[in-house]
Structure 1
Amino acid sequence: MQWEIRPGVQRPVGRFGEWTGISRDRRDHSATTASAIQSADAVRKLAVDGVTASSELSPGFAAANLIDGDPAMPWNDASLSGAGAVLTFDLGEPVFLDTIVIHNYDNPRDPRSFKRNARVKEFDVEYHTEHGTMRLKATAPDTAAPFTVSINALHDGPLVIRVASVWPAEAVDDAPPFLELSVGEVEFFGSAITDEWMESAIREAKQTVAAFESEIATLTSALETAPPEAAQEMQDKLAIADAGLAEAVRSLLELEKRVTLINQSGANRP
């Protein structure tokens, strides 16, 4: 697929700091971009083309179990208790990735299964946006309930989950602990990126830019005739609007840049 990029707003966007691509906080995805994304398409469960793991206990506990839709059929590492565990997922085409949901193994037919296996505790998620490679660190609670990681970004490329530590396996009653890290399922939720999706996102981003420009023009005009007692308040409002415009322009340029990257990625796919 190809998207047409029309001329964007070429206005200085101010200083936003240096981007390292590693461990930046979530403010890099602006409210403007998120709003455009959310209105462009409904969030749904995404298909996964494939998954590999750094180790597997046996064919019956293979990495493919992570995406088979059955949390009661787990992946187990090769009796390593999570040491060096790495899971790599292929989501296929570029997507807007909203959340990742991870299910530690908890077999409803065996209430002891959750505690007897090692469970994911600390981990990081590596994904790829227009900013480059992002790494998000997270800690899962020691609970059988699925836990959710918020991503809220455009993603294209392999997605990697690296396990840094685990909740250790425990003996339950007279049943000894297992040596394996066990994960029942990993699910991804977001939106497929279509022509209509990107056009809608860019259209809303441009509308946001136009709204800020209109507000700035109105405030600037009013400031010229404002009495001294009102001038400072209007200058404060103008500064806020200027900052909002800079962020909106940055969001628009990010979306347009992403179109270019997606087009290039599509051209390079077999």
Structure 2
Amino acid sequence: MRMKAWMLGAMALVVVFGSVWIANALGYWTTESTKTPALIESGEFAGAADPADIRGSYTFGELEAAFGIEVEVLAKAFGVDAAEAEDFQLKSLETIYEVLAEDGTEVGTGSVKYFVSLYTGLPYELTEVVYLPLPAVELLIEEGKVEGEAAEALQAIAVEIPDVSLTGTEPDGSNVESAEESTEESAVSEVTETLLIKGQTTFRDVLDTGVSETEIEAVLGAEMPNPLTVIKTYCTEEALSFDEVKSGLQALVDAQ
């Protein structure tokens, strides 16, 4: 007996939608992305969420659900407005720290992975140089998540949160500066103020104050790298204490 075309079509619909209904009933069917990190498969932490699987599309809210770190803590650590923290996507950190990234100091998803690992005690293997915002480092130390040499190492990779506030016209116009005035003040500041070595200071900046290459090498105990190298980055790569190197170089600068 031959089946008519309309009967075949009806049976196909029953099979398709019936399968969907069954899959949905059993929990296998979903129309939304779950945004759940993979689990650690072996070892002491088997079954726990894996920090290495955190993606840039994840939000702070999803991290709280996966790792138990409160949204407020994440917001404070990475300089995010608490009112926007719940739905804040990690890839948006690139905007906040864009200025630092231009100098080779990137704060992004990798930084969040490292912070989550340190905060929770879950394992995470670093495969690149990672920087953390200063509030994140201070929070980890204050809460006893890291201490001793580990705390010193974190201080060497800490960076200040850039000032990303937008300047514009206030209602009364009292706080507005013209671009020309701002430029002039900046130029005067550079001439009159002593260099203060910070996270983004390069060896060239130090040389420009009159410190010699020989003096810098005496502090480093090694040959000075490319003058355009950021001092903190050099210390991180060479496993040197940034605080000690900074203090030594700052003394040379202040003596000029």
Larger Rg: 2
**TM-score, length of structure 1 as denominator length:** 0.23
**TM-score, length of structure 2 as denominator length:** 0.23
> 1 or 2, which has the higher helix percentage?
2
> 1 or 2, which has the higher strand percentage?
1
